[in-house]
């Protein structure tokens, strides 16, 4: 997609079109129990094992709001600079589906718990939030078992917050940046683990296009995108599809208000159903639940739980540790990584080195089968242990390469550095006699290199370092090797007739 001033340039006509995009993000709150009952929720538990009369919608069962969910929702709102309503209300959103036994979902309609706030993008644009509301998730219908549809109600009643932006987004890249920033905030506040593979973050996109200076046109909704990459691809495809439809000047092809699904295999969106309007759901206040009251003391308590947020942390890393914006960005993109980094520094590791080791080694291990590491926070390595390895390398006890091997071994076995250095024979050789032996061996037959070094081309020495290190099994101290080579070359008698 070609972007000029955020406009889309039609490949067919060269005309400019302005995309108008809004995002609705459903995020699962990381509470111990569900939104209105005491059932615990764990992803992947045996079907229908985590249910009770409330979340399966039995007659007479009464919901009670989970205060932990309210607390996490409020913290999210505070982190996003939104205003929390002192009084909000739960409503029933009526629709029929087999994964919704009550026949309605408890949500918030015209009195959500929070309004306003937003996220600043790097290009200076600000994506405003219209609102965030709390609601319960539905169960799961499983359709791929022959003739039958199976229903698992474990997820029914799991707390969600849905954040809705104003249509301030104009490109796929902006949408992805917004989502990444939102995810960071949700993770930092501890509100959600945002595990998209487990469905704890899902995104709907509203999108339309119009020529510059003209009114907005019909918007189309793309539902249930479960990866940032798909969000980007779906937006790009949909902009191109809508523009092509308008430029065909065939009104029967013009976009209609509808819900579409993105098909990642084919890289396109297709129509799912006509879009419901709010009145189709016959929203009504839920008579089983009292109004939600949030007072100043509650707000203050939640604010006290807010950590330093990613943007502030990035800025501090640049100032306090002298890191580049890129390094600070990588380290703060996940709270677990940022916390780990700071703990390494507290344990005596130098910031720049700690940052390099985390980025070049530790972060690359995520997804490593051998280490069995799916997420960074599962790492079996203490920050003090990384600080120790960094220190061993800095003091020259072990080589950089050996340090990498050692770290990996520590993460794998959980055993201490000192023991492993011995066991794996990683300690650098500083013994002048042995180093001289290797250097002499490496110099044999290298008259050309020797002559070059004598002629003042010190870079020629590098050709000898490899062979020496190889002879030493990678353990010779490089500084000593350099000095020894130079001394040996200086001591050698120059040939009489060069």
Contact positions vs Zn ion (CB under 5 A): 37, 39, 52, 54-55
Count helices and strands (H / E) in the chain. 15, 19
Residues in Cβ contact with 114 at an 8 Å cutoff, skipping those fewer than 6 apart = 73, 74, 77, 82, 83, 84, 85, 88, 131, 132, 133
Paired sense of beta strands 220-225 and 258-263, if any: parallel
Among the listed residues 374, 426, 418, 422, the one whose alpha carbon sits nearest the alpha carbon of residue 400: 426
Residue 38 CB, nearest approach to Zn ion (Å): 7
Looking at the Cβ atoms of 58 and 422, the one nearer to Zn ion is: 58
- The tokens of 459 are what? 């870079």
Residue 54 CB, nearest approach to Zn ion (Å): 5
User: 92 has which bridge partners?
Assistant: 106, 284
- The tokens of 286 are what? 């839920």
Looking at the Cβ atoms of 52 and 196, the one nearer to Zn ion is: 52
- Using the Cα atoms of residue 349, residue 350, residue 352 and residue 356 in order, give the sign of their dihedral: negative
Residue 109 CB, nearest approach to Zn ion (Å): 23
Residue 214 CB, nearest approach to Zn ion (Å): 50
Looking at the Cβ atoms of 49 and 123, the one nearer to Zn ion is: 49
Looking at the Cβ atoms of 36 and 109, the one nearer to Zn ion is: 36
- Say if residues 226 and 196 touch (Cβ distance below 8 Å): yes
**Angstrom distance (rounded) from CA 122 to CA 448:** 55
Looking at the Cβ atoms of 54 and 328, the one nearer to Zn ion is: 54
Residue 58 CB, nearest approach to Zn ion (Å): 10
Residue 39 CB, nearest approach to Zn ion (Å): 3
Looking at the Cβ atoms of 38 and 81, the one nearer to Zn ion is: 38
Paired sense of beta strands 268-274 and 258-263, if any: antiparallel
- Say if residues 436 and 453 touch (Cβ distance below 8 Å): no
Instruction: Count Cβ atoms below 10 Å from residue 48 Cβ, excluding itself.
Output: 14
Residue 153 CB, nearest approach to Zn ion (Å): 9
**Angstrom distance (rounded) from CA 460 to CA 479:** 15
**Angstrom distance (rounded) from CA 162 to CA 418:** 50
Residue 67 CB, nearest approach to Zn ion (Å): 16
Looking at the Cβ atoms of 52 and 299, the one nearer to Zn ion is: 52
**Angstrom distance (rounded) from CA 207 to CA 223:** 11
Looking at the Cβ atoms of 67 and 308, the one nearer to Zn ion is: 67
Among the listed residues 118, 126, 134, the one whose alpha carbon sits nearest the alpha carbon of residue 170: 126
Looking at the Cβ atoms of 39 and 84, the one nearer to Zn ion is: 39
Residue 112 CB, nearest approach to Zn ion (Å): 24
């Amino acid at each position: 997609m070609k972007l000029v001033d955020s406009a889309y340039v039609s490949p067919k006509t060269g005309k400019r079109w302005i995309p108008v995009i809004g995002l609705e993000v459903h995020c699962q709150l990381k509470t111990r129990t569900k939104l209105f009952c005491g059932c615990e929720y764990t992803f992947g538990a045996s079907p229908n094992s985590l249910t009770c009369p409330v979340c399966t919608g039995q007659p007479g069962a009464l919901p009670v709001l989970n205060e932990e969910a309210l607390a996490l929702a409020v913290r999210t709102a505070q982190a996003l600079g939104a205003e929390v309503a002192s009084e909000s209300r739960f409503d029933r959103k009526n629709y029929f589906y087999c994964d919704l036994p009550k026949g309605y979902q408890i949500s918030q309609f015209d009195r959500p718990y929070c309004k306003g706030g937003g996220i600043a993008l790097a290009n200076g644009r600000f994506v405003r939030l219209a609102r965030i509301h709390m609601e319960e998730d539905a169960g799961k219908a499983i359709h791929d078992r022959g003739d039958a549809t199976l229903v698992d109600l474990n997820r029914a009643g799991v707390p969600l917050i849905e954040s809705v932006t104003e249509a301030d987004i104009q490109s796929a890249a902006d949408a992805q940046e917004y989502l990444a920033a939102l995810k960071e905030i949700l993770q930092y506040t501890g509100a959600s683990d945002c595990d998209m593979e487990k469905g704890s973050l899902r995104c709907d996109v509203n999108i339309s296009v119009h020529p510059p200076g003209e009114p907005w046109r019909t918007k189309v909704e793309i539902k249930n995108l479960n990866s940032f990459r798909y969000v980007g691809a779906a937006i790009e495809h949909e902009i191109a599809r809508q523009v092509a439809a308008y430029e065909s000047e065939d009104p029967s092809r013009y976009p209609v208000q509808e819900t579409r699904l993105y098909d990642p295999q084919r890289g396109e969106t297709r129509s799912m159903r006509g879009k419901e309007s709010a009145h189709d759901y016959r929203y009504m206040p839920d008579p089983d639940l009292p109004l939600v009251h949030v007072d100043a003391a509650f707000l203050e308590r939640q604010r006290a739980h807010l950590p330093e947020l990613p943007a502030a942390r990035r800025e501090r890393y640049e100032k306090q540790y002298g890191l580049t914006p890129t390094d600070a960005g990588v380290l703060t993109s996940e709270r677990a990584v940022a916390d780990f980094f700071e703990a390494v520094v507290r344990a005596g590791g130098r910031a720049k080195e700690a940052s390099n080791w985390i980025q070049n080694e530790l972060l690359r291990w995520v997804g490593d089968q051998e280490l069995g590491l799916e997420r960074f926070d599962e790492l079996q390595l203490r920050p003090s242990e990384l600080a120790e390895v960094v220190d061993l390398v800095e003091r020259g006890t072990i080589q950089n390469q050996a340090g990498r091997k050692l770290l990996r071994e520590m993460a794998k076995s959980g055993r201490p550095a000192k023991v492993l250095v011995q066991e794996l024979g990683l300690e650098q050789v500083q013994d002048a006699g042995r180093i001289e032996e290797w250097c002499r061996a490496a110099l044999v037959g290298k008259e050309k290199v020797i002559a070059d070094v004598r002629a003042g081309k010190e870079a020629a020495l590098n050709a000898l370092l490899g062979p020496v290190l190889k002879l030493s099994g990678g353990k010779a101290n490089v500084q000593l090797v350099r000095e020894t080579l130079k001394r040996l070359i200086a001591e050698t008698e120059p040939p009489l007739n060069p």
